[in-house]
Amino acid sequence: MNLINLLKIAFKALSNNKLRCFLTMLGIIIGVASVITMLAIGQGSKNSIRDQISEMGSNMIMIFPGNMQRGGVRQSSDNMETLKVEDYKALSTVPGVAAVSPSVQSSGQLVNGNNNYPSSVYGINSDYLDIRKLKVKDGSMFTDHDVKAAAKVCILGKTVVDNLFPDGTDPVGRVIRFGKIPMTVIGVLESKGTNSMGMDQDDIVLAPYTTVMKRILAIDHIQGIFASAVNEDDTEATISRITEVLRSNHKITEGSENDFQIRSQQELSEMMNSTSDMMTILLACIAGISLLVGGIGIMNIMYVSVTERTREIGLRMAIGARGIDILSQFLIEAVIISVTGGIVGIILGCLATWLVTAIAQWPVDIRMYSVGVSFLVCTITGIFFGWYPARKASNLDPIEAIRYE
Amino acid sequence: MNEIIEEIIIEEGSEIIRVENLRRHFKVGDETVKALRGVSFTIRKGEFVTIMGTSGSGKSTLLNILGCLDTPTSGEYILDGLSVQSMSRNRRAVTRNRKIGFVFQNYNLLPKTTALENVELPLLYNPEVTAKERRERAVKALEAVGLQERIYHKSNQMSGGQQQRVAIARALVNDPVIILADEATGNLDTRTSFSILTLFQELHDRGSTIIFVTHNPELADYSSRNIVLRDGKIITDTINPSPLSAKEAFEALPKDTD
Ligand SMILES: Nc1ncnc2c1ncn2[C@@H]1O[C@H](COP(=O)(O)OP(=O)(O)O)[C@@H](O)[C@H]1O
Ligand SMILES: [Mg+2]
């Protein structure tokens, strides 16, 4: 018996029971539509995290005082004073390091006339802009000379500008106060918006690290070092060279632990990816379960259908259908249901995805593979869950089947 | 006497069916039901055989074996020169498809399906028949049973007699070596029964070989040979040299007035 005849027979049988056929399909439709939508959302958020990380500088390396994470508990590094200005200076000559900046930070109230705004001042050097992919939009960055002199100058982020200069006056050249210390605004940063974790990247004030260390915090250690590798692929190697330099500077003996920790953006992006991967897996599992339920629905209906059509099966056998013909017919019916359901589900899933972007403005990305996999899974679902009912049908005894009431 | 009969039949045509000492036992719990206890006969091309017997005498069991739906517990069955016992399940299915036409008591048409599609069905399981040929043959078979006007009627829109005609057309469409009918008129009123019987006689006149199982003894007069079963054995096997015309009997019946 050829395939066209089989398809003809299966289609005919299905069209005799359109409503049931549709209801059976519904399970598959919902399953596939949710798989497509969930994967699109998962992929979309992954993309946006990746974009933001690369915007932040994907080859960034961060060094903080303190031990590496141990046994799942990260020890507080706030009051460790293991990093010095000399460490940062030593790193600038390490091969593979493109730029390096120390980092100290102080939180406090910023004041401009009647306007107050609580923010943080970051003490850094001019390399920091390159490392963090920041740009000065108005005015200019402070110079090495400003750093040496611990000049009371600062660069403001857009959020800070909006809060301190709500009337829209140009902040460049104006003097604001951070606590008691007056600082001249010499530049404004280009806006970067919020990052993927919802942090406002424009809520920032930059100043020479010397100014923050000496005039604000009165400390002689630094709280961190930001560096960037020449290129992303070289990050690992650069990190190990940095580690070596810092260990020898700190006179750490072989076998002892580091008194600093190094994080790279790459690591961060891997961590975030694995988080969003987990999310995607979770979503896909939920969607997969609904597909499974859809498959069981097919099996259920196929069983009912085989019982209901016992006489028909008996007749087909009596007029010459072989077991394989009956098996194929029911299998093809199951596959037609699941594949048609799959196609409708894919279309519906794309529509739902589109709605998600249009209404909730979530980033989404429908990958061809998720469409392909859904389609494949549907076909397999049909074959798998159609198999037992179909086999039951093909094993019927024609004499008993044709007498069945 | 039997030998004389055989000689007459030989002149009519070649051997289609030969069964020898056919037995069929069913195991029901601890007991064995002996539905057939050694049945032997030969049927030649062009015969119209009625098989009679009371309910439970083994008629259907015999017909199922002749139709390759069932296999005997022992004994031999040769259909059109082929030994059926040695066939696999699939081989028997193909044999049913190419050599046998079945007519059942309760028609067994596919529901919500047109007469044409119902008749085409056996040919769908024969890959050698093209779609065009399938249709032509189905239309021809429907013409042969007098339903040329109703080829697109759905099975559930037809009367019992018409449904049985469709079923007969379906049994004819594969050009079988033998048509097997099990109580084909069992569900029909007398008038319709005779019209169906008339149809069988017409098919017989045109050369079909027919085995017609019935528990109605009256019908023996309309066939060319009558085999009577009792308790799984043949008690009589008689040739009827001058069968009555079912058509005349049909016309003699009082017409339905209401
Ligand atoms: N599948 C079966 N299992 C057990 N007994 C059966 C089966 N088929 C038929 N029989 C028995 O065999 C005998 C003959 O049955 P059957 O051929 O149907 O008779 P008929 O068609 O002449 O009425 C009956 O006693 C019946 O109960
Ligand atoms: Mg019977």
CB pairs under 8 A between A and B: 69
Please give the average per-residue pLDDT across A22-47, as a whole number: 86
Tell me, yes or no, whether B1 lies in a domain: no
- CATH code at position B190: 3.40.50.300
Tell me, yes or no, whether A264 lies in a domain: no
Same domain, A149 and A232: yes
| Cα–Cα distance measured from residue B142 to residue B149, given in angstroms and rounded to the nearest whole number | 9
Domain finish residue from A258, A279, A305:
A258
- Dihedral, A234, A236, A238, A242 alpha carbons, nearest 10: 170
Structure tokens, A315:
């007749």
How many alpha carbons fall within 13 Å on the CB side of residue A329? 28
- Is A248 in CB contact (< 8 Å) with chain B? no
Does residue A373 have a pLDDT over 60? yes
Domain finish residue from A223, A258, A293:
A258
Mutate to test the pocket of ligand 1, among B37, B60, B216 (most ligand atoms within 8 A of CB): B60
Computed over every residue of chain B, the mean pLDDT equals 92
Tell me, yes or no, whether A383 lies in a domain: yes
Tell me, yes or no, whether B205 lies in a domain: yes
Which pLDDT band, with edges at 50, 70 and 90, does A1 fall under? low
Tell me, yes or no, whether B5 lies in a domain: no
Q: How many domains does chain B have?
A: 1
Q: Report the Cα B153 to chain-centroid distance in Å.
A: 24
Same domain, A248 and A317: no
Domain finish residue from A258, A293, A322:
A258
Do residues B38 and B66 lie in contact, with contact meaning Cβ atoms separated by under 8 Å?
A: no
| Cα–Cα distance measured from residue A325 to residue B157, given in angstroms and rounded to the nearest whole number | 28
pLDDT tens digit string along A54-84? 776 778 888 888 764 444 455 555 557 788 8
Tell me, yes or no, whether A327 lies in a domain: yes
B215 CA: nearest ligand 1 atom: 22
Q: Which three-class secondary structure state does DSSP give residue B238?
A: strand
Q: What is the pLDDT of residue B258?
A: 54
Tell me, yes or no, whether A59 lies in a domain: no
Tell me, yes or no, whether A63 lies in a domain: no
Same domain, A7 and A129: no
pLDDT tens digit string along A177-191? 998 899 999 999 998
Residue of A nearest to B64 (CA): A399
Q: Which three-class secondary structure state does DSSP give residue B179?
A: strand
Q: Which three-class secondary structure state does DSSP give residue B176?
A: coil
| Cα–Cα distance measured from residue A332 to residue A326, given in angstroms and rounded to the nearest whole number | 10
Q: What is the pLDDT of residue B256?
A: 66
| Cα–Cα distance measured from residue B112 to residue A16, given in angstroms and rounded to the nearest whole number | 7
| Cα–Cα distance measured from residue A370 to residue B231, given in angstroms and rounded to the nearest whole number | 67
Same domain, A286 and A241: no
Tell me, yes or no, whether B3 lies in a domain: no
- In a 10 Å sphere around its CB, with 0-12 CB exposed, 13-18 middle and 19+ buried, how is residue A171 labelled? buried
Same domain, A308 and A334: yes
Tokens 């069905």 locate to B121
Tell me, yes or no, whether A74 lies in a domain: no
Same domain, A21 and A140: no
Contact A320 B122 (CB under 8 A): yes
Q: What is the pLDDT along chain B (258 residues), one digit of tens a residue?
A: 455 555 444 455 799 999 999 999 999 999 999 999 999 999 999 999 999 999 999 999 999 999 999 999 999 999 999 999 899 999 999 999 999 999 999 999 998 899 999 999 999 999 999 999 999 999 999 999 999 999 999 999 999 999 999 999 999 999 999 999 999 999 999 999 999 999 999 999 999 999 999 999 999 999 999 999 999 999 999 999 999 999 999 999 887 655
Tell me, yes or no, whether B258 lies in a domain: no
For residue B35, report the distance from its CA to the centre of ligand 1, in Å.
6
ipTM higher than threshold 0.85: yes
Same domain, A240 and A277: no
Task: Decide: pTM greater than 0.80.
Answer: no
Which pLDDT band, with edges at 50, 70 and 90, does A151 fall under? very high
Computed over every residue of chain A, the mean pLDDT equals 86
Chain A residues in contact with B110 (beta carbon < 8 A): 312, 315
Tell me, yes or no, whether B74 lies in a domain: yes
Q: How many domains does chain A have?
A: 2
- Is B112 in CB contact (< 8 Å) with chain A? yes
Do residues B34 and B66 lie in contact, with contact meaning Cβ atoms separated by under 8 Å?
A: no
Tell me, yes or no, whether B219 lies in a domain: yes
- Is A316 in CB contact (< 8 Å) with chain B? yes
Do residues B57 and B38 lie in contact, with contact meaning Cβ atoms separated by under 8 Å?
A: no
Same domain, A251 and A286: no
Do residues A99 and A76 lie in contact, with contact meaning Cβ atoms separated by under 8 Å?
A: no
pLDDT tens digit string along A240-277? 898 888 888 888 888 888 888 888 877 777 777 787 78
Same domain, A234 and A109: yes
Structure tokens, B247:
């058509």
| Least CB–CB distance from A2: residue in B93, B97, B127 | B127
| Partners of B79 in the β-ladder | B17, B82
Pocket lining for ligand 1, CB < 6 angstroms? B 26, 28, 33, 35, 53, 55-61
Same domain, A232 and A279: no
Structure tokens, A367:
């990958």
Q: Report the Cα A221 to chain-centroid distance in Å.
A: 36
Share of chain B above pLDDT 70, in %: 94
| Partners of A329 in the β-ladder | none
Q: What is the pLDDT of residue B9?
A: 46
pLDDT tens digit string along A80-96? 778 888 888 888 888 88
Q: Is the dihedral of CA A136, A199, A286, A341 positive or negative?
A: negative
Which pLDDT band, with edges at 50, 70 and 90, does A197 fall under? low
Domain that holds residue B48: 12-250
Tell me, yes or no, whether A68 lies in a domain: no
Do residues A335 and A3 lie in contact, with contact meaning Cβ atoms separated by under 8 Å?
A: no
Same domain, A234 and A334: no
Please give the average per-residue pLDDT across A293-313, as a whole number: 88
CA distances to A56, A125, A138, A178, A203 from A161, rounded to whole Å, are: 21, 21, 12, 14, 9
Tell me, yes or no, whether B255 lies in a domain: no
Domain that holds residue A379: 3-52+271-403
Rg, chain B, Cα only: 18
| Cα–Cα distance measured from residue B49 to residue B42, given in angstroms and rounded to the nearest whole number | 11
Same domain, A282 and A252: no
Do residues A362 and A44 lie in contact, with contact meaning Cβ atoms separated by under 8 Å?
A: yes
